[in-house]
Amino acid sequence: MSVDDVPEFVLAKQLKEAGFPQQPGIVIGGIDGELKIGRYLVCRVEGECGVCILRDDEYQKYIEANDPRNYIVKLPFLEELIRECENWWWKNGPDGMPQIHFAFIHSQVEKSGGWRATLGSEGYFRKEKPELIDDLVGFAELGTPEEAAERLWLALNKKA
């Protein structure tokens, strides 16, 4: 089994190749103060993969080791995906506050469904002034909100 057969790896690798930040980005408080963590998929060339939570210093050790037998790729948390989509909006979007909406879409006919993530101005969702950017909808059939947000981020960054 190849690492390319792991669905989470394929999408995470696309994010990495498109420039999604790989450093730990979630700040948590602890006894020793705040630290940053990230969720990663660490794969060996032989096809073994494991998900782990790494602190910033642990992530740096993986990067500095530069071991060709390991491939590390970030599995972003939903919070990080939303933040990066908002950052895209501030750099490239129209004026106005960005809003990301998530909806679960279900098809009675096909007995399937999926999550859809949409980015637009706050006025768009109130129908006052539609400023949704064309084709910037992430949709992950039978996926998770994270997968829909990952696909939205990829769509945004193809246009940038």
Nearest-angstrom CA–CA distance, 106 and 104: 6
pLDDT-derived band at 134 (thresholds 50, 70, 90) equals: very low
The pair of structure tokens assigned to 53 is: 């939570």
Amino acid at residue number 160: A
More confident residue, 96 or 16: 16
| Segment 25-51, tens digit of pLDDT | 888 887 777 888 999 988 877 677 788
d(CA 149, CA 156): 10
Locate 64 and state its tokens.
């500095």
Q: Chain centroid to CA 25: how far?
A: 12
Rounded to an integer, what distance in angstroms lies between the CA atom of residue 14 and that of residue 45? Answer: 18
Name all domains of the chain by residue range, CATH numbers in brackets: 3-76 (no CATH), 79-159 (3.30.160)
Q: Per residue in 62-83, pLDDT tens? A: 889 888 888 889 999 999 999 9
CA angle 142, 19, 100 (to 5 degrees): 50
Q: Tell me the pLDDT tens digit for each residue of 89-119.
A: 888 877 777 777 788 877 666 666 788 888 8
- Mean pLDDT, rounded, of the chain: 79
More confident residue, 155 or 98: 155
Query: Which of the four pLDDT bands, split at 50, 70 and 90, describes residue 135?
Result: very low
How much is the average pLDDT of 133-150?
69
- What is the percentage of the chain residues whose pLDDT exceeds 70? 76
How far apart CA 148 and CA 160 sit, in angstroms, is 19
Best CA proximity match to 95, nearest among 142, 129, 47: 129
Residue recorded with tokens 């969720």: 39
